Amino acid sequence: MTAQTARTAKDTKILVIDDEDMNIIVLTKVLMRNGYEVISAKNGREGIAKATLPPQPDIILMDLMMPEINGWDATKSLKTNSQTMHIPIFAVTALTTEHQAAIEFGFDGFCEKPIDFNLLIDLLENIRKKTGNSKLPK
C-alpha cells in the first residue's frame, strides 16, 4: 500500500455487524491492515444505531443470522431510511445458498464465510469504483 493510499484509506469507515466475536476480530484485523477504519456491532439493532450516527460508515458488512434484529431486517431498515440508504451493504454469511436472494433483496454484494479475504478486498474496490467514493482505498 502506498503512502497516498494509506492516507485515503484512513478516512474510510467500515461497519462490521456480526454476532460472533471471532468474525469481528478477524475482519477488523484484515480490514485495518488494508487501511480501513473499522467499527463493529454485535447485532442488527446495534448496527442500525451505529450506521445512523455521524460520522457514518462508508460500507457495511452484514451477517445475516443474528439475534435481536437479523441482517435481512437490519438491511431493510437501513435501505429504507433516507439517512442510510446510500451506504453499500454486503451480506457476509455462511448461507451460500442465499447469494441470489441477498442481491435481489437489496444487498450491494455478497461474501461467503469462510471469507476469502482477497475476494473481500476486491469487492470493496469494486464498490469504490461503482460509487465513485474517493474515500475508499485504491
The model's pTM: 0.87
Question: Residue ranges of the domains in the chain?
Answer: 16-129
pLDDT confidence bin for 62, thresholds 50/70/90? very high
- CATH code at 16-129: 3.40.50.2300
Q: pLDDT by residue (tens digit) across 76-114?
A: 999 999 999 999 999 998 887 888 899 999 999 899 999
What is residue 124's predicted lDDT score, i.e. its pLDDT?
A: 87
In this predicted structure, the answer to whether residue 137 has a pLDDT above a threshold of 50 is no
Reply yes or no on whether the pLDDT at 8 is more than 90: no
Q: What is the 3-state secondary structure (H, E, C) of the chain?
A: CCHHHHHHHCCCEEEEECCCHHHHHHHHHHHHHCCCEEEEECCHHHHHHHHHCCCCCCEEEECCCCCCCCHHHHHHHHHCCCCCCCCCEEEEECCHHHHHHHHHHCCCEEEECCCCHHHHHHHHHHHHHHHCCCCCCC
